[in-house]
Amino acid sequence: MKLLVVESPAKAKTINKYLGSDYEVIASFGHIRDLPAKDGSVDPEADFKMLWEIEGRGAKQVAEIVKAVKGAEKLILATDPDREGEAISWHVLEALNEKRALKGIPVERVTFNAVTKDAVQKALANPRQIDQALVDAYLARRALDYLVGFTLSPVLWRKLPGARSAGRVQSVALRLVCDREREIEAFRAREYWSLVATLATKTGATFDARLVGADGKKITRLDIGTGAEAEAFKAALETALFNVAEVEAKPVKRHPYPPFQTSTLQQEASRKLGMAPARTMQVAQRLYEGVDIGGETVGLITYMRTDGVDMDGSAITAARSVIGKEFGNQYVPSAPRKYTVKAKNAQEAHEAIRPTDLARLPAMVARQLEPEQAKLYELIWIRTIASQMESASLERTTVDIAAKVGARLLDLRATGQVVLFDGFLKLYQEGRDDEEDEDSKKLPPMAAGDPLEKRNIAADQHFTEPPPRFSEASLVKRMEELGIGRPSTYAATLGTLRDREYVRIDKKRLVPEDKGMLVTAFLESFFKRYVEFDFTASLEEKLDRVSNAEIDWKALLREFWEEFTKAIAGTKELRVTEVLEALNGVLGEHIFPAKGDGSDPRTCPTCGTGQLSLKLGKFGAFVGCSNYPECRFTRPLSVPANDGEATAEGGQGTPGVRILGKDPVTQQDVTLRDGRFGPYVQLGEGEKPKRQSLPKGMSAAAVDLDKALALLALPKEVAKHPESGEPILVGIGRYGPYVQHGKTYANIDKDDDVLQLGGNRAIDLIVAKESGAGGGRFGRGAAVPGRDLGEHPGGGKLVVRAGKYGPYVNWGKVNATLPKTMTQESLTLEQAVELVNAKAEASGVKGGGTKAKAAKAPAKKPAAKAATAKAATGKAAAKPKAAAKPKTAAKG
């Protein structure tokens, strides 16, 4: 019997069906060992010795592998064909050697780019040994990420309260987002005007032409800067005589895009399917490892972590065959297309991401896949087929037009494009984050000398716009262009920035939080080299050279560590005043935006004599007056200090108040505040204003006026009791959200959202509590079981449940009551998606995407919060427990 080890149980299940009884396939469940989250796991003084630890599931899996390897004639390590996969195999082998479990059993390493029977059998026929150069590259990356995270993060805690961590790659990615935000804040709009003439040919066909020159001089987009100039040109064009000066028709070829690599797949899935990079990789992993198709487990795509863009020769042949059959021979180019890319690392470059069987059309498997799987498979299939199709043939036409106004000559230009043969465009066009600049309108037939008739002259005002914030797709593209990170790290890096609450996603764009801006400004001021793009890219290239066995990994670490420790040592004597002065300088436009009246934005609006400055308190950073304690003005960073309306008085050392707007009924201010027990919203001022704490899992940054008013409206009636007819209320109490009927209270489950709890759900909770089911299987607000409908396109399960007083569909925190025209049995996935989307949109609350976050954010007791604040100031850094705090900080 031969023992074959892979990473995941899904992959093990698929491969087990391909091999006979001579093989046993077992999963390691990813890495079985990791660096302990404590000081000393990487020891620079002992030549960077790394202390690995087996814990939890890893220990269980090692025991399973040790048990299985006894009596085996051979151990085959078949983990993924990249650096991380090589490291997993190395860890398994090291763990078995430590336990003396092999006892002379031969060990082989095999890799395959697709989980198919042919690919697996071919790999087994061509075994090799573990590639130590790839392992060394893994060790170097892990050591660097650990050393940066565990050395730099404590500096942040001591010098910048509220900051959570820094990382080798995450901090540079965060800088990209923050730099873009500062560009936007520094941007000043510029006025410009465009002149467009609607003209008609002698046949009556109309088209638009733009003013591009006057009196022998070119006019560019921004040259007409005032309305007066625009009106002067318009008046001239109104009386002009128009004729065609020149027509130029130029043939153009557009060639197809190469097949997907990791970064381009993440970008296109984000643009076209709205899938976050992390979700894209999760779904792609399932397609790669194997999906049940007609009772057979099949790997549908090749390995999805790759820099490569070329395809196997047999796949190219198959693609050409599918193109001829599905679209016609005219769409098959005369010669197969070959794509190449300058691989950053030859040993880590694999084949492009493609379907394992191109004859397996998306329509053939759509019904047997989950919705997201079907959409992603179709996107990969289309891109792969399009990459081997014939080029598109177009004709781009430029028409120059002369407008004579007396002795003056004005120049206009019209552009258009005609598709002569669509080629690959018949199947696929790549998505864009911005609109296409190219004018694709078709122009009517014209010839030089033809007269043109004026139909209309339009003078339109425009203003230049700031650069757009990054989307997840465009940030991945920018990181790839700069050489920051690698395909397998993009999704994890973006996830870390969100988890640390350094950025948030608003309208599919990445917006830096204040703490993210502060961390970036701090690092740029005192660790500039380590957030420079060139330095990070250069380090990535050196790591690639390690995996090519060109340089020694420990020599790389020694070189890095020598300079890094000097930079750390330089901050030991750093005073808070120096930190604040540096941050005030870097973040000036962000913290103190210019006032409309031109006055000093740093003048205190309360006392009029003090200077506003960044302050650091135990709960984080805020803006305060230099005349403290005589003047107690404070405000958070994110509130512009244009006037006193956006400020509030408070004690120095508290973040202050954010005004959200006016209550439409009372016209009182609705504010968001930080209190001893966490953030809360408040209506008005006075001795006993109405207040409401934010429920667990709701981010303060996500609270707007509508959400605040909804919270302040609690408790509110959501249903009538079916027997008593008395109201059932929903509210937030000392122990969290609840529903109430008379003197009966029932806790709301963590997956329910207090702001949009449905009537049927509320009745179920109360009746369950009143019937004594509170401690039973479905008591204490637990959701009753139901029928699983599948995945929501935005992530998260959709389940329809039979409530005692009516069925409802659940999606994370959203519960939507079924209308009387629908039944629980007949409800389809599409109908469920429409119901929960409508409910989520009406309430302004997200569904499945908030579930995990809410579960990770337990409320802290006052004592625990104080302890956290103490640790953040560095006072408890020497205690053993504090060492475990930056566990994820080391993951860069």
- Residue after which a domain boundary falls, among 130, 145, 175: 130
User: What are the structure tokens assigned to 659, written together?
Assistant: 């005004």
Distance CA 695, CA 845 (A): 13
**CATH number of residue 126's parent domain:** 3.40.50.140
Q: In what order do the strands lie in the sheet with 736-741?
A: 716-720, 727-733, 736-741, 744-747
Convert the pLDDT of each residue in 438-486 to its tens digit: 456 789 999 999 999 999 999 999 999 999 999 998 999 999 889 888 8
Backbone angles phi, psi at 208, to 5 degrees: -105, 140
Active site residue 303: yes
415 Rama class: left (phi>0) / alpha (psi -120 to 50) / beta:
beta
Which residue's structure tokens are 């560590």?
561
CA 541, 546, 547, 549 torsion-angle sign: positive
Residue 271 sits in the same domain as residue 372:
yes
Backbone angles phi, psi at 18, to 5 degrees: -85, -25
pLDDT of residue 781: 38
Convert the pLDDT of each residue in 196-214 to its tens digit: 999 999 999 999 999 999 9
Question: Residue by residue, what is the 3-state secondary structure of 817-875?
Answer: ECCCCCCCCCCCHHHHHHHHHHHHHHHCCCCHHHHHHHHCCCCCCHHHHHHHHHHHCCC
pTM of the model: 0.69
- Structural domain includes residue 892: no
- Structural domain includes residue 768: yes
CA distance from start to end of the chain:
41
Convert the pLDDT of each residue in 228-246 to its tens digit: 999 999 999 999 999 999 9
Distance CA 599, CA 180 (A): 26
Residue 397 sits in the same domain as residue 386:
no
Distance CA 78, CA 19 (A): 13
Q: Are 203 and 444 in contact (CB under 8 A)?
A: yes
How confident is the model over 768-796, as a mean pLDDT? Answer: 60
- Structural domain includes residue 852: no
Q: Are 437 and 212 in contact (CB under 8 A)?
A: no
Distance CA 674, CA 696 (A): 14
Which amino acid makes up residue 245?
A
Residue 34 sits in the same domain as residue 124:
yes
Residues in the chain: 892
Q: Are 767 and 789 in contact (CB under 8 A)?
A: no
Distance CA 379, CA 257 (A): 13
- Using DSSP's 3-state secondary structure scheme, residue 747 falls into strand
Say whether pLDDT at 342 is over 90. Answer: no
User: What are the structure tokens assigned to 127, written together?
Assistant: 């075994």
| More confident: 600 or 3 | 3
- Structural domain includes residue 808: yes
Percent with pLDDT over 70 in the chain:
86
| More confident: 77 or 847 | 77
Which residue among 138, 192, 288, 303 is the active-site one?
A: 303
Reported as a pLDDT band with limits 50, 70 and 90, residue 814 is confident
783: closest CA among 770, 800, 759, 771?
A: 800
Residue 9 sits in the same domain as residue 126:
yes
Say whether pLDDT at 362 is over 90. Answer: yes
- Structural domain includes residue 573: no
**CATH number of residue 183's parent domain:** 1.10.460.10
Convert the pLDDT of each residue in 97-116 to its tens digit: 999 999 889 999 999 999 98
Residue 609 sits in the same domain as residue 531:
no
- Structural domain includes residue 866: no
Distance CA 854, CA 499 (A): 12
Q: Are 536 and 123 in contact (CB under 8 A)?
A: no
Residue 239 sits in the same domain as residue 276:
no
Distance CA 764, CA 776 (A): 14
Residue 183 sits in the same domain as residue 196:
no
Convert the pLDDT of each residue in 563-615 to its tens digit: 999 888 888 778 878 888 888 888 888 888 777 677 888 898 888 899 888 88
| Beta carbons within 8 Å of 63's beta carbon, 6+ residues apart | none
User: What are the structure tokens assigned to 182, written together?
Assistant: 């500062």
Give the Cα-Cα-Cα angle 135, 136, 141 (nearest 5 degrees): 100
Say whether pLDDT at 852 is over 60. Answer: no
Distance CA 758, CA 783 (A): 13
> Cβ–Cβ contacts within 10 Å for residue 600, how many?
11
- Structural domain includes residue 873: no
Cis peptide before 629 (omega within 30 of 0): yes
CA distances from 73 to 11, 67, 88, 125 (A): 22, 13, 21, 16
**CATH number of residue 250's parent domain:** 2.70.20.10
User: What are the structure tokens assigned to 502, written together?
Assistant: 């350094």
pLDDT of residue 875: 35
Distance CA 476, CA 485 (A): 9
Distance CA 834, CA 774 (A): 32
Distance CA 12, CA 27 (A): 6
Say whether pLDDT at 324 is over 70. Answer: yes
Which neighbouring-strand residues pair with 405?
408
- Structural domain includes residue 617: yes
Judged on CB neighbours under 10 Å (0-12, 13-18, 19+), 775 is exposed
Give the Cα-Cα-Cα angle 866, 870, 871 (nearest 5 degrees): 120
User: What are the structure tokens assigned to 90, written together?
Assistant: 């190395």
pLDDT of residue 858: 39
Lowest mean per-residue pLDDT among 62-71, 106-115, 723-732, 781-790:
781-790
CA 444: distance to chain centroid?
A: 45
| More confident: 638 or 241 | 241
pLDDT of residue 461: 93
Please state whether beta strands 107-109 and 74-77 pair in parallel, antiparallel, or not at all (unpaired): parallel
CA distances from 316 to 311, 337, 655 (A): 6, 8, 61
Residue 244 sits in the same domain as residue 286:
no
Give the Cα-Cα-Cα angle 748, 752, 758 (nearest 5 degrees): 90
Reported as a pLDDT band with limits 50, 70 and 90, residue 315 is very high
615: closest CA among 565, 655, 575, 588?
A: 655
CA distances from 621 to 163, 584, 634, 744, 868 (A): 10, 12, 11, 43, 15
Distance CA 606, CA 584 (A): 20
384: closest CA among 299, 321, 475?
A: 321
Say whether pLDDT at 635 is over 70. Answer: yes
Question: Residue by residue, what is the 3-state secondary structure of 47-105?
Answer: CCEECCECCCHHHHHHHHHHHHHCCCCEEEECCCCCHHHHHHHHHHHHHHHHCCCCCCC
Q: Are 739 and 754 in contact (CB under 8 A)?
A: no
Convert the pLDDT of each residue in 707-751 to its tens digit: 899 899 898 888 888 888 889 999 888 778 888 988 888 888 766
Residue 456 sits in the same domain as residue 476:
no
Domain count across the chain? 6
892: closest CA among 81, 319, 153?
A: 153
Range of the domain at 338: 262-390
Q: Are 136 and 551 in contact (CB under 8 A)?
A: no
Which residue's structure tokens are 């090692």?
62
- Using DSSP's 3-state secondary structure scheme, residue 23 falls into strand
Reported as a pLDDT band with limits 50, 70 and 90, residue 432 is low
Q: Are 354 and 259 in contact (CB under 8 A)?
A: yes
pLDDT of residue 777: 32
Q: Select, from the ranges 3-12, 342-351, 741-750, the one with the highest average predicted confidence (pLDDT).
A: 3-12
pLDDT of residue 868: 35
Q: Are 875 and 161 in contact (CB under 8 A)?
A: no
**CATH number of residue 347's parent domain:** 1.10.290.10
Cis peptide before 715 (omega within 30 of 0): yes
Which amino acid makes up residue 351?
E
Distance CA 629, CA 622 (A): 15
pLDDT of residue 449: 94
Residue 335 sits in the same domain as residue 362:
yes
Distance CA 412, CA 213 (A): 7
- Residue after which a domain boundary falls, among 510, 536, 568: 568
Cis peptide before 256 (omega within 30 of 0): no
Which amino acid makes up residue 202?
K
Q: Are 327 and 318 in contact (CB under 8 A)?
A: no
Reported as a pLDDT band with limits 50, 70 and 90, residue 775 is very low
Which residue's structure tokens are 């003013």?
211
Q: Are 62 and 93 in contact (CB under 8 A)?
A: no
Residue 276 sits in the same domain as residue 210:
no
User: What are the structure tokens assigned to 521, written together?
Assistant: 């400004």
Convert the pLDDT of each residue in 120-148 to its tens digit: 999 999 999 999 999 999 999 999 999 98
Distance CA 387, CA 424 (A): 8
Distance CA 657, CA 700 (A): 12
Convert the pLDDT of each residue in 507-520 to its tens digit: 889 999 888 888 89
pLDDT of residue 818: 82
Residue 457 sits in the same domain as residue 473:
no
Say whether pLDDT at 866 is over 90. Answer: no
174: closest CA among 510, 507, 536, 482?
A: 510
Distance CA 492, CA 233 (A): 54
